[in-house]
Amino acid sequence: MIVTFDWQMQKLTALTSDRKELESGIKHAKVGKFAGTVLHDSLMDVSSRVLQPIRGRKAIILLSDGNDHGSVVTPEELLRAESEADAMIYSIYYLPEALRFLGPPGPRPFPFPRPFEYAAPQRSRGPRGPGGRRGGLRGLGANGYELMEKLSEVTGGRFYQGETKNLKETFTLIAEELRHQYRLGFYPDELKRDGSAHALAVRVNLPDVSVRSRREYLAK
């Protein structure tokens, strides 16, 4: 399924295994006429309305700079929902055009001192854009990198950073990884369904093997 988002989300194809239909959808992608990037709303919509009813392995490949401009869904709501959505997010981060001359952002600690706590930029009091959303975010671009990395972490996916010219190589790595995965599940002996967060760790006793999985789950 191919989805684009600017000030609104556009579904260019339905879920399909038809390669020609997917290629046609990509070719019909256009740059939006209005300012905005409703990243949060688009991810939430695809996860909850499209992927949630589907059984089996599910993955989202997110190509973005991570900046949101105009969404109703907050970063906290998005992270909490995606951690429970049962779909891995592979984030491919690329720098916004205006910041590329500064180089890629260096390693720095996440602004997530507690589970799902996110220091969201404050919304401005600017005029409303299409759809009734307010335009403008103060500190735009400050947290896009961290948000995309955190989305991959809480869903058991992987975070990539690079130039758009390397997309073919990155997509090949993701496709190869998706072909060699195990899907595991478990039921706790005792679980109080109070909505609290519980730590989750998966370990293997094989040498030279790394494991990526969700770090916690909600008891509900």
CATH class of the domain defined by 3-183: alpha beta
- Kindly list the domain boundaries of the chain, sorted by start residue: 3-183
Q: Which residues pair with 216 in a beta bridge?
A: 199
Tokens at residue 123, please? Answer: 């919304």
pLDDT, one tens digit per residue, over 159-217 is 998 766 678 888 999 998 888 877 777 777 777 888 777 888 888 888 887 777 777 77
Distance CA(141)–CA(145), nearest Å, equals: 8
pLDDT band at 78 (very low <50, low <70, confident <90, very high): very high
